[in-house]
Amino acid sequence: MIKKLSHIIFILIFTSSVQGQYKISYRLGLGIGFTKPDNFNSSLSSIELSKIGSTWFPIHHDLSINIYPSLRIGYKKLSTKLITYNRSSNNYILPIIFHGINIESFFTFRKKFEINFGLSPMLGNAKFINNKLTATDEKLGIEGKTTAEIKNSTFGFYSSIGLRMYLMSFL
């Protein structure tokens, strides 16, 4: 009797663990963000740069594991390094990169759509790059061009609400 009961328990444990395996997923996407660089822009009034744009389009990718049917945890990275639409002129660029642990709750419907809510403690860094600095030496008559950049790092929380459409459904 005990042996038969142990076999039943073993079969139940084995089949439930097969059913509840973790699902690892990788996502790549494009988002839109709105910042308020008013204080930053007021400090730039003395140079040729008029302002930094407030709209940025981060490319994001994340690798996550479903730890519950509607909850995933993983690594997320947002970057405007490739698409830097927040240029104010051709010579100035402000790429922003964030990365951190992502906790996301989601609800799928119609097998291709997903509504998600996420919260992430993130480390970020931004580089303010001037691509064209000229230096001249009047005695020698030499003119040179160089690039300068200022780096800044920060820690913060990133929250998101989104709608995702999958091109291929694997549900």
Domains belonging to the chain, first-starting first, are 23-165 (2.40.160)
Q: Is the pLDDT of residue 61 over 60?
A: yes
pTM over 0.75: no
What band does 83 get if pLDDT is binned at 50, 70 and 90?
low
Q: What is the mean pLDDT of residues 11-17?
A: 60
Long-range contacts of 29-35 (CB under 8 A, 24+ apart): 29/59, 29/60, 29/61, 29/164, 30/57, 30/58, 30/59, 30/60, 30/83, 31/57, 31/58, 31/60, 31/78, 31/162, 32/56, 32/57, 33/57, 33/58
Backbone angles phi, psi at 95, to 5 degrees: -75, 140
pLDDT digits (tens, 9 = 90+) for 108-129: 888 888 899 999 999 988 877 7
